[in-house]
């Protein structure tokens, strides 16, 4: 499934007007919606997300070989790879073990997706680059990050502040890739300050 197909699937069940918030890969989905259907997006919020997850020349991100490695590991040992990936979400936070357990219980309570579906998501992370298209969004745009995030490096924040001066960024200190779990008060405070359009 491509990012465009994923976004179209989500859009079918979304209200005509909404604040679109996406975490990690979901940030790409919310961003794609803002690019292709701006009339339906009152505000865009990305959480621990990057418009380009894969490292490129002059752009910090996840090394492509690491993403390829995750794809191979999913085929070899699905359960263990998912658990490792979930543990990465909270790595470095003061409450990492507790946060990882909570995240794991929520994620693994859902039906287990097919390996091809997860590999499709990793393929999107490897290939999609929305840096240029997001220059043109014209709605309130909030970007939230965790200072300790090992998947979305904080080095992208000043680069995107320059590239997208119309957006607002906030780094939550002592948070990793799941700031809404480790730091819910700071996360909610940032969201309530957002003023949607229309």
Distance separating alpha carbons of residues 163 and 147, to the nearest angstrom: 20
Cβ-Cβ contacts under 8 Å for 3 (sequence gap 6 or more)? 28, 29, 32, 124, 128
Strand partners, 65: none
DSSP E strands, 92-167:
141-146
How far, in Å, CA of 187 to CA of 175, rounded?
10
Q: Is 167 a catalytic residue?
A: no
Query: Which entry of 50, 54, 99, 149 is annotated as an active-site residue?
Result: 149
Q: Is 99 a catalytic residue?
A: no
| Measured distance CA(26)–CA(114) in Å, rounded | 18
Residue 79's DSSP bridge partners are: none
**Distance (Å, rounded) from C-alpha 149 to C-alpha 72?**
23
What's the start-to-end Cα distance of the chain, in Å?
32
Tell me whether residue 177 is one of the annotated catalytic residues: yes
Which residue of the set 50, 167, 177, 183 is catalytic? 177
- Catalytically active residues are 24, 149, 177
């Amino acid at each position: 499934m491509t990012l465009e197909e994923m976004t179209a699937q989500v859009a079918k069940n979304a209200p005509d007007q909404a604040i679109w918030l996406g975490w990690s890969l979901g940030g790409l989905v919310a961003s794609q919606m803002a690019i292709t259907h701006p009339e339906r997006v009152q505000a865009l919020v990305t959480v621990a997300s990057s418009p380009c997850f894969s490292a490129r020349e002059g752009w910090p991100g996840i090394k492509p070989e690491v993403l390829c490695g995750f794809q191979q590991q999913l085929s070899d040992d699905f359960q263990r790879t998912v658990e490792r990936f979930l543990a990465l979400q909270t790595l470095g936070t003061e409450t990492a073990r507790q946060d990882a357990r909570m995240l794991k219980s929520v994620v693994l309570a859902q039906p287990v997706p097919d390996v091809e579906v997860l590999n499709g998501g990793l393929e999107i992370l490897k290939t999609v680059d929305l840096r240029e298209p997001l220059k043109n969004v014209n709605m309130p745009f909030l970007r939230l990050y965790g200072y300790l995030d090992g998947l979305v490096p904080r080095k992208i924040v000043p680069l995107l502040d320059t590239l997208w001066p119309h957006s607002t960024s906030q780094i939550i200190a002592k948070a990793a890739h799941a700031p809404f779990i480790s730091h819910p008060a700071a996360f909610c405070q940032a969201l309530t300050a957002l003023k949607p359009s229309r």
